[in-house]
A and B are shown apart, each in its own frame.
Chain A
Amino acid sequence: MSAFRAVAATFTAFTVAALGACRSSGYDATPLPKASASATASPSASAATPAVTCANAVQSYTPPSAVPTNLSGYPTVDKIRTRGRLIVGGSATSMLLAARNPISGQIEGFDVDLARQVAKAIFGDPDKIERRVVTTADRIPVLQDGSVDLVISAMTMTCDRWQQVAFSAEYYRAGQKVLVPLGSKATSLDDLGGQRVCAPGGSTSLDKLKTFPDVKFVTAATHTGCLVKFQQGEADAITGDDTVLAGLAAQDPYAKVVGDAFTSEPYGIGVPAGSKDLVRYVNAVLAKTISDGAWKASYNHWLAPALGPAPTPPTPVYGR
């Protein structure tokens, strides 16, 4: 009897084993990678830090009466001359200020002309420049880590930034405006409640934009990144300095810059905080560039078609 049971049990086990051998050949669907949290995280979009008070953000170090030829008191400038080239950080996409000409491949504009003036003073050759392309948010970090000598990139002089870097005397006075689509009736940020407005991370334009709570802000690495978002329907408007916006509007016939400037943006050349000698040297070059008419010629070449004829250059404030 037990043998009979054993036969039956064997039979059952066999059936189970045989069924188990019939394996399905279907695979699970290939998993999709998890979406990254945010693809466009701006590196250091400073969250509206409280304003540091200083007597005067446009006040810089006093230059000598003429551009010095003997560099004995200017160790930083001497080092640059020994190296054989001036390393300048800036944009490659800000049309009119500093943009790569797609046809020639050269970076050119109002800010670039200024860098050429400094190189010409140091080397007698305006071409002895190594350009480093930096994003808006990286302008201060590259000065702090000493990877560039100067940043000439539509950089607003503020008391906050004086804590981290030094500035030359003011070389241009811009103002913040908005760029909107051709048919829009808006003329200021007040008219753009509920709309998405783009500004680059780490810019004073973004800090100002954040003070309008009704407006949704969108960030990009540069203003040209904002133009792409504007053209692809990810932003309804762009805010920035009139100089920068003029360069964007020049690339898009369906965009216009509207209204009056609602901020005052004094531009300075950014210099590493410790290099006061370089600041004084650059200020001397700047004074010469303004006095010999080179400043006006450059302005008229780049900015006058968009912003009107050259205004009076800013009066430098020294004595810091």
Chain B
Amino acid sequence: VTQTVTAPAHVAPPGRMARFRDSALEASRGTPGRMRLVSAGLVILCLLLGLAGEQAFRATRGSLDRAAANAAQVVRLGELQISLVSADADATNAFLVGGLEPAEQRAHYDAAAQRAAELVAQAARAQPADVQALAALNTAIQAYTGQIELARANNRQGLPVGAQYLRNASSGLRTDALPLLESLTAANQQRVQTEFTHARQAWIALTGVGLLALAGLVLASIWLARRTHRYLNLPLVGAGVVILVTLIAGAVGLLTLGGSVGSVRDGPYTDVQALSEARVEAFDAKANESLTLISRGSGAAFEKAWQVSSATTTRLVEPYPVIKTQWAEYVSAHRAIRALDDSGRWDRAVAAATSRADNSANAKFDAFDDSTSRALTQSAAATDRDLQSAGAWLSLATWLAVAAGLLASLLSWWGLAQRLEEYR
């Protein structure tokens, strides 16, 4: 059956590559040659199936981890925005009262500004793709705190220009820093959704690849049956069973996981998004309350901004009865402050807005702050926990997929080796 190919005498002796090619050509001649090719193809096909399974499980694991990390980044950015806005509310309120700012308020401002700086560093470490935007944000924050220090230095000397520095700082924060934060939050929310989609679609890739492997095996069996007139090759059937089991178990596992991811997305993660946004909007409304008063009669734009933020918060906290009530109480306290200011009693409006007594607007806002903060922490922890538990089996599945690929390729090689034996 084998033929020898001899090189013509006048040609120089063939190199190693040429010799390899020649022997490969020789090995693929005729039916046994083809069998060797089919055997090699099936072995590689099964190994690739193992690798594809490993890839699918590992990528899903990665998607879940990244979804959790991105969700944490969304929460972190929300807290960062709140730190900045509440630092600004502190600074604005201090100027509203007149005189030196109370030491407690100054300490609160300092803590909020420090927290913002820490969160920028943490956010930059958590997501390299955010670094450029965070660097721009850092610049804006530095400009803001610098202007606030100038405002303080001037205020300390009793110079009215201090109030102008405060106004510039506050408007700079709103035109430079907050749009950056909104862009960052939107990008990270988008990333969470992308990873959720990937995790939910992983079964499609695995099923597609598995069906291709199965088709390869079936076609090879048919070809082999026609050539050898033997219809049952047990090792090849075994390989088929291994592939089928891998395919079904993997697809079912990933489909179930997709369902769990869907419940996280529609459950705790929806709460994370709603509460985080509600808090950001609420703190912005609070800062606008002070800015309306400090503008003294020309703050209509700030009150309008308050109404927009307040409406958004009201809509977002609708599903949470306790928080909803707390927010409604703050809203009515704010209305009372506006009523005082609008009827010309600015001094009393300021007193009401800056009071820290029980039942004051500040006390009501603090109650809202406390419960939203607690609820947000719980939802963020639940998101993380549920995503981790949904993918707990993926590490084991990764190794099993590799083992299944190896087993199927061994069986395929064995099955074709039995037939090749018959040609010796």
Contacts and interface: CB of A to CB of B under 8 A. Distances in A.
Nearest to B168: A228
A87 interface: yes
A130 B55 CA distance: 72
The winner among A30, A32, A92, A104 for most chain B CB atoms within 10 A is: A30
B298 A132 contact: yes
Interface string A92-130: 111100011111111000000000000000000000001
B215 interface: yes
A14 B223 contact: no
Interface stretch (A17-25, A165-173, A265-273): A17-25
The winner among B66, B162, B208, B212 for most chain A CB atoms within 10 A is: B212
A29 B133 CA distance: 8
Nearest to B212: A14
Contacts of A227: 161, 164
Contacts of A85: 344
B220 A31 contact: no
B41 A8 contact: yes
Contacts of B175: 36, 39
A212 interface: no
B183 interface: yes
A233 to B, nearest CB: 13
A39 to B, nearest CB: 5
Contact of A29 (B45, B129, B213, B295): B129
Given A11-B44, A30-B184, A251 B159 contact: yes
B183 A30 contact: yes
A17 B52 contact: yes
A33 B182 CA distance: 9
A18 B53 CA distance: 9
A93 B164 contact: yes
Given A3-B219, A21-B209, A30-B133, A102 B164 contact: no
A25 B215 contact: no
A205 interface: no
A133 interface: yes
Interface residues of A, number: 62
A26 interface: yes
A93 B161 contact: yes
A175 interface: no
B390 to A, nearest CB: 18
A15 B51 CA distance: 11
Interface in A115-153: 130-135, 138, 142, 147-148
25 contacts: A7-B220, A14-B45, A14-B216, A17-B212, A18-B48, A21-B52, A25-B66, A26-B129, A29-B129, A30-B184, A31-B183, A33-B182, A92-B160, A95-B159, A102-B154, A104-B98, A130-B346, A134-B297, A134-B298, A135-B298, A138-B298, A224-B163, A225-B164, A228-B161, A251-B159
Kindly list the 10 A-B residue pairs having the minimum CB-CB distance in the complex, ordered from nearest: A105-B98, A132-B297, A130-B344, A3-B223, A33-B179, A27-B129, A133-B296, A10-B216, A30-B187, A30-B133
Interface of A: 3-4, 6-8, 10-11, 13-15, 17-18, 20-23, 25-33, 36, 39, 84-85, 87, 89, 92-95, 99-106, 130-135, 138, 142, 147-148, 222, 224-225, 227-228, 231, 248, 251-252
Given A10-B215, A102-B155, A132-B298, 10 more contacts: A7-B216, A7-B223, A17-B52, A21-B59, A23-B198, A95-B160, A100-B160, A102-B98, A224-B163, A228-B164
